[in-house]
Structure 1
């Protein structure tokens, strides 16, 4: 539910936002974890660096970052790096270029959600009408 490898929402928030947003762990407990597992500090720095690469619109540091991540020797990270390397040109274009297909993906996702809700209960014509009705209301209220 919170992403592969996350045990609960608190794990995800610490990586995504910050310790101040997590009420279930104290600063002392967090520092103890970092002392016990120093690789977490390095991983956190690598995540921040990747964020900077993505939003800087400059892809020159991507190869160096991928090599750094490979050095962690964590199987899940190796899989991630291999996935990026398979389509490295698309990843670099995604970093450099302003445009993306987010609008189309959002529309497709909305249709899939409506379809899942209606699964086995209604016809295609009703699905079509419901999607168009949702789109009409979105345009009317935005």
Structure 2
């Protein structure tokens, strides 16, 4: 979702007209923008109030999102409040999977282990 401040003037005008014509779309866009801002700025302390505002509106798709967030609220709050990222772990797992696929079932565990250890 593009930051509204980065839109061209004509695009901003069109977006405003569309959002004015449909109150549900305006509410969805507002809630999504608020959630994106929370994610970008790591403001997890605002999540419970955001979820209450979403549930107050008649938006079933966003209600489903809130219910999903509530199922694992501790993890969501941790993601929205800490600087820690699992990006490095995911990078290594992707590399291991690539090496495993390159063996195409012919290479045994020992060769895979050696290739992983030599690359790190």
TM-score by length of 1: 0.57
Alignment of 1:1-142 (within 5 A): 15-17=1-3, 20=7, 27=11, 29-112=14-97, 114=98, 122-125=104-107, 128=112, 132=116, 136=119
CA-based RMSD of the aligned residues comes to 3.5
Check the 8 A contact 2:43/2:80 in 1, yes or no: yes
**TM-score using structure 2 length:** 0.65
- 1:99-124 superposed Cα distances (whole Å, 9 cap, x missing partner): 12221123323444x37976xx9225
Higher helix share: 2
Contact 2:99/2:112 (8 A) holds in 1: no
Checking the alignment, whether the CA contact within 8 Å between 2:38 and 2:44 is kept in structure 1 is: yes
Higher RCO (CA 8 Å, separation ≥ 6 residues): 2
Take 1:81 and 1:124, find their aligned partners in 2: how far apart are those partners?
46
Unaligned runs of 5+ in 2: none
Distance (Å, rounded) in 1 between the aligned partners of 2:43 and 2:16 = 33
Aligned residues: 114
